[in-house]
């Protein structure tokens, strides 16, 4: 029997404690759910410091917008937070309408709210179920995805596309909602609550999920405000700021809903706030659908405001009426001069206050357009939230923040 | 008592006198201008005073006005008083040759990246910023793309007519 000698690597005294590892998380990593990089300095599994690199999918939207008439910029806004494109589209239309002084009819407002709340649900359900995936529970995600499909089918029925929707026009919608759209909405409203309840049951009191999320990536209300947090991430820290309540747009003041808030601002609170917001969105959807059904006769056919300079005339009129043909040509070619002005307008996007700062010099395209992108602003706080924690927690924190690369980079 | 635009204007004029000017409110948002080297003092004053309480920085960005000699670049701050729900807009003009503006990143952590973005696209030099480097564009880039001197498309193209877009 031979004798085994174990050879130990001789390291200088104390060197193990000093030894740190540099780890690149991203730019393409399954756990980042988007293209951005984190260069982390690790001591074992503990994060000592991290630096984010963003800009991998920067597409110069602000520059592009300076050469586009208003209606062509809607397609750029699709690609900001692509999990809830319709909110971005509506935010952009509302900004234009504010600049142009357009008043939209109530029915348009309610239809817009239906679309916006549907997309808020689709945004939050992805974020929450992906959090499940990152903590090791794939099932919830697989189940809930089919309900996003139901939402996308409603979009499809209204505007013809699913992800980058380009939905709505300045002044209203491109066409009236069809009966099929309403049937699909009814189906969603009927089926989704049970599914959401099931998702909730999978996670909210799940021991593993709670241990992974409670206390990870906490942020205090003061720090969150100082970092410019908005949306669910700010509300999870305990500040009840919601653009829908503070500066109601699109007739949100006609609806009853509560703004859920958390306490500690950790991943678990962010999950709970998003979850509760989905219930609130469902309630708003039910109210809005009821209000839409109350329009009868000619009123039920209203789906846009009267803005001939920006809203395309009916196709049959274009073929038969001189006036309509002229407007059609002018709008499509972007030959309408905008009023001079400087507007900041914001809506409550999936991730928080999505702002549009539009300066018009009286030309046909914006002189300057700036997007206030919530994820770009709150992602700066990431190092502060994860330093000192474990690498595996950092991944959960990242998915609970709902970072969308398109919105980060613009 | 709700915070009114008149009150904000009065308080600012009392404190800064001639250094703040051009009060107007386009689309119901109080907008005003501050002298270049006073931006941080104005922001601090708006932040500290209990009756003003502008402690939420919504946005920082810049605008390039090539036709205003000596005032080619404007840095625009959007501030929000969340308690009274009032928004204001502060603009600071600077010339394009020495675009130096004090950083607000010590006052607002959120200003860090917003200023980096503004630097990245307009070349505003935020004095006192810890980490003023490009954020969205590649590090090797040697110009500031959102300035108006860099046209979106190749100007040698003759198949496109600028007049179609309102400015020839």
Domains of chain A: 61-401 (1.10.645.10)
Is B165 within 8 Å of A67 when comparing Cβ atoms?
A: yes
- What are the CA-CA distances from residue A165 to residues A80, A175, A192, A227 (Å)? 12, 14, 22, 31
Spatial separation of the C-alpha atoms in residues B98 and B96, rounded to whole Å: 6
Closest-CA residue of chain A to B120: A55
CB atoms within 10 A of CB B133: 9
Average pLDDT for B137-141: 90
User: pTM of the full predicted structure?
Assistant: 0.92
Question: Which CATH fold topology does B5-146 show?
Answer: Beta Polymerase; domain 2 (3.30.460)
| pLDDT confidence band for B57 (50 / 70 / 90) | very high
pLDDT > 70 in chain A, percent: 96
Is B135 within 8 Å of A54 when comparing Cβ atoms?
A: yes
pLDDT of residue A88: 94
pLDDT of residue A8: 67
Chain B residues in contact with A241 (beta carbon < 8 A) = 82
Average pLDDT for A311-337: 92
ipTM of the complex in this document: 0.90
pLDDT > 70 in chain B, percent: 90
Is B26 within 8 Å of A363 when comparing Cβ atoms?
A: no
Best of B78, B85, B113 to mutate (most A CBs within 10 Å, chain A): B113
| pLDDT confidence band for A67 (50 / 70 / 90) | confident
| pLDDT confidence band for B75 (50 / 70 / 90) | very high
Spatial separation of the C-alpha atoms in residues A210 and A204, rounded to whole Å: 7
pLDDT of residue B2: 82
Q: Is A178 helix (H, G, I), strand (E, B) or coil?
A: coil
pLDDT of residue B76: 96
Q: Pick the more confident residue, B125 or A44.
A: B125
CB atoms within 10 A of CB B58: 23
> Chain B interface residues facing chain A, Cβ-Cβ under 8 Å?
26-27, 29, 31, 55-59, 61, 63-64, 76, 78, 82, 85, 87, 89, 108-110, 112-114, 117, 121, 134-138, 145-146, 152-153, 164-167
Average pLDDT for B92-119: 94
| pLDDT confidence band for A15 (50 / 70 / 90) | low
Average pLDDT for B3-12: 92
**Under a CB-based contact definition with an 8 Å cutoff, are residues A116 and A90 in contact?**
yes
**Nearest partner of A257 among A238, A231, A283, judged by Cα:** A283
Average pLDDT for A255-267: 93
pLDDT of residue B59: 94
- Express each pLDDT in A283-302 by its tens digit: 999 999 999 999 999 989 99
Tell me how many degrees the CA angle A42-A47-A52 measures, rounded to the nearest 5.
Answer: 95
Average pLDDT for A343-364: 93
Is B85 within 8 Å of A246 when comparing Cβ atoms?
A: yes
Beta strands in A160-293 (DSSP E): none
CA A391 to chain centre: 26
pLDDT of residue B38: 92
Residue A3 has pLDDT above 70, yes or no: no
| pLDDT confidence band for A1 (50 / 70 / 90) | low
CA atoms within 13 Å, Cβ hemisphere of A337: 8
pLDDT of residue B159: 64
The neighbouring-strand residues paired with B43 are: none
pLDDT of residue B60: 95
What's the full length of chain A, in residues? 410
Q: Is A338 helix (H, G, I), strand (E, B) or coil?
A: coil
DSSP-derived secondary structure letter, B3 = P
Spatial separation of the C-alpha atoms in residues B140 and B156, rounded to whole Å: 25
**Under a CB-based contact definition with an 8 Å cutoff, are residues A171 and A97 in contact?**
yes
* A341, A346, A370 ranked by CB distance to B27: nearest: A341
Average pLDDT for A44-63: 91
Residue A94 has pLDDT above 90, yes or no: yes
Residue A209 has pLDDT above 60, yes or no: yes
| pLDDT confidence band for B152 (50 / 70 / 90) | confident
Residue B167 has pLDDT above 90, yes or no: no
| pLDDT confidence band for A220 (50 / 70 / 90) | very high
pLDDT of residue A19: 78
Q: Is A352 helix (H, G, I), strand (E, B) or coil?
A: strand
Contacts 24+ apart (CB under 8 A), A172-180: A172/A104, A172/A105, A172/A108, A172/A111, A172/A303, A172/A304, A172/A305, A172/A311, A173/A108, A173/A111, A173/A303, A173/A304, A174/A312, A175/A303, A176/A301, A176/A303, A177/A111, A177/A303
Domain ranges (residues) in chain B: 5-146
Span of A28-42, A226-240, A318-332, A360-374 with lowest mean pLDDT: A28-42
Please give, rounded to a whole number of angstroms, the shortest distance from the CA of B168 to a CA of chain A. 11
Tell me how many degrees the CA angle A195-A198-A201 measures, rounded to the nearest 5.
Answer: 155
Mean pLDDT of chain B: 89
Span of A32-46, A154-168, A390-404 with lowest mean pLDDT: A32-46
Please give, rounded to a whole number of angstroms, the shortest distance from the CA of A29 to a CA of chain B. 19
pLDDT of residue B151: 82
Mean pLDDT of chain A: 91
**Under a CB-based contact definition with an 8 Å cutoff, are residues A93 and A310 in contact?**
no
Chain A residues in contact with B60 (beta carbon < 8 A) = none
Average pLDDT for B130-145: 91
pLDDT > 90 in chain A, percent: 79
């Amino acid at each position: 029997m031979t004798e085994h000698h174990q050879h130990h690597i001789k390291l200088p005294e104390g060197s193990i404690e000093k030894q740190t590892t540099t780890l690149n998380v991203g730019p393409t990593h399954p756990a980042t759910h988007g293209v951005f990089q984190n260069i982390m300095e690790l001591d074992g599994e503990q994060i000592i410091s991290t630096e984010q690199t963003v800009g991998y999918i920067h597409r110069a939207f602000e520059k592009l917008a300076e050469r586009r008439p208003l209606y062509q910029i809607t397609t750029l806004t699709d690609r900001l937070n692509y999990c809830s494109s319709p909110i971005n589209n509506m935010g952009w239309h509302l900004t234009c309408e504010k600049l142009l002084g357009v008043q939209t009819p109530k029915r348009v407002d309610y239809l817009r709210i239906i679309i916006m709340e549907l997309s808020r649900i689709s945004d939050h359900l992805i974020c929450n179920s992906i959090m499940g995936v990152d903590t090791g529970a794939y099932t919830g995600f697989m189940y809930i995805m089919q309900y996003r499909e139901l939402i996308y089918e409603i979009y499809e029925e209204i505007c013809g596309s699913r992800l980058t929707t380009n939905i709505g026009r300045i002044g209203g919608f491109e066409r009236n909602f069809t009966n099929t759209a309403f049937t699909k909405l009814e189906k969603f409203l009927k089926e989704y609550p049970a599914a959401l309840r099931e998702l909730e049951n999978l996670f909210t009191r799940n021991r593993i999920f709670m241990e992974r999320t409670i206390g990870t990536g906490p942020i205090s209300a003061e720090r969150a405000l100082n970092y410019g947090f908005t949306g669910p991430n700010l509300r999870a820290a305990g500040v009840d700021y919601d653009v829908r309540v503070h500066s109601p747009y699109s007739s949100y003041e006609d609806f009853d809903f509560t703004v859920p808030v958390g306490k500690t601002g950790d991943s678990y609170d962010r999950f709970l706030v998003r979850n509760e917001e989905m219930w609130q969105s469902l309630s708003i959807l039910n109210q809005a659908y009821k209000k839409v059904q109350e329009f009868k006769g000619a009123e039920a056919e209203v789906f846009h405001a009267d803005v001939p300079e920006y809203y395309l005339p009916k196709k049959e009129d274009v073929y038969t009426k001189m006036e309509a043909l002229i407007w059609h040509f002018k709008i499509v070619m972007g030959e309408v001069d905008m009023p001079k002005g400087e507007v900041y307008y914001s809506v409550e996007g999936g991730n928080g206050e999505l702002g549009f700062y539009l300066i018009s010099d009286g030309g046909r395209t914006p002189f300057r357009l700036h997007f206030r992108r919530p994820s770009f602003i709150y992602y700066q706080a990431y190092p502060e939230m994860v330093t000192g924690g474990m690498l595996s927690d950092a991944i959960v924190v990242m998915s609970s923040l709902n970072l969308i690369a398109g919105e980060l980079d613009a | 008592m709700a915070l009114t635009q008149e009150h904000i204007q009065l308080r600012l004029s009392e404190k800064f006198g001639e250094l703040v000017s051009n009060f107007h409110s386009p689309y119901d948002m109080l907008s005003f201008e501050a002298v270049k080297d006073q931006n941080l003092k104005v922001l601090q004053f708006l932040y500290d005073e209990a009756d003003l309480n502008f402690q939420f920085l919504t946005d920082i960005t810049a605008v390039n006005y090539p036709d205003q000699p000596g005032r080619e670049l404007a840095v625009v701050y959007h501030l929000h008083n969340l308690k009274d729900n009032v928004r204001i807009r502060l603009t600071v003009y600077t010339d394009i040759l020495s675009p130096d503006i004090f950083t607000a990143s010590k006052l607002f952590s959120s200003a860090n990246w917003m200023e980096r973005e503004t630097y990245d696209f307009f070349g505003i030099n935020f004095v006192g910023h810890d980490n003023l480097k490009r954020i969205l564009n590649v590090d090797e880039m040697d110009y500031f793309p959102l300035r108006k001197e860099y046209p979106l498309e190749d100007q040698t193209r003759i198949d496109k007519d600028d007049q179609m877009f309102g400015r020839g």
